[in-house]
Each structure stands twice: as structure tokens, then as C-alpha cells.
Copies of this chain bind each other. A is one copy, B any other.
Amino acid sequence: MKRETTPDTCPAAPALRAIAGRWKTHIIYLLGEEGPVRFNAIQRRLAPVSPKVLTSRLRELAKDDLVWREQEETIPPKVTYGLTDLGREVHEVLKSFDAVGRKFDSVAPEEKS
């Protein structure tokens, strides 16, 4: 098995890897700000994410115990996702990124030739 052998320089690395990627932070934010949300609602809010990718990310977040999944086997089915306690913690920390985050919008402006 490909051990990552990542240096211990940054203790936050595992947590950051767990929320890395194009959609995960948006998912956490959405669930954190608006409480439990159903699959289709998430997909619409995070458009243009594809169902495959969204499912994949939600499963990963669930595996890392950041979100929970509640399924009603009705017809039509109804699946709801929400933040766990750990997920809520992450959401809080994420919010502390907002202030510094805004400063990035003005940086790295396309170098056009």
C-alpha cells in the first residue's frame, strides 16, 4: 500500500485533505448554513456539479464522519444529508477562512498576453 509518508510539518494536513477538492467545502457550507438538505437540492445549489461527483464527495465526507446520510426507502426515495458534530466544527473553522479568503479574490489576476 502506498504509504504517503507526508512530513509531520503540518498537523492540519489530514483535515485539509479531507475537505480538499472542488466541492467538499461548498457542501459543508451549504449543510452548515441551511441545515439538512436533500440530494437534489444540493445538486441544484452547487450546480453545475454532476450527480456522480456529488454522490462521490458526499460518500467521502460521510466516511470521514463529517456528514450523515438519512435514507427513506419510499417511492420516490428521499435522502437527506446533514453535518455531524465534527462537520460542524469544520464548518466553523472554515468560516474563519472567510476574512482572509476574500483577499484572494483580488490576487492572481489572469496574466493575459
**Interface on A for B, CB 8 Å cutoff?**
4-7, 9-16, 18-22, 25-26, 28-30, 45-48, 63-65, 86, 89-90, 93-98, 100-105, 107-108
Q: Which residues of B contact A63 (CB under 8 A)?
A: 108
Closest residue of chain B to A1 (Cβ to Cβ) is: B110
Enumerate chain B residues within 8 angstroms of A89, measured Cβ to Cβ. Answer: 100, 103
Assembly of this chain: how many copies?
2
A selection of 23 A-B contacts at a CB cut-off of 8 Å is A6-B26, A9-B29, A10-B25, A10-B28, A10-B29, A10-B30, A11-B98, A11-B101, A11-B102, A12-B29, A12-B101, A13-B25, A14-B104, A15-B97, A15-B100, A15-B101, A15-B103, A16-B20, A18-B104, A20-B21, A64-B107, A86-B103, A93-B96
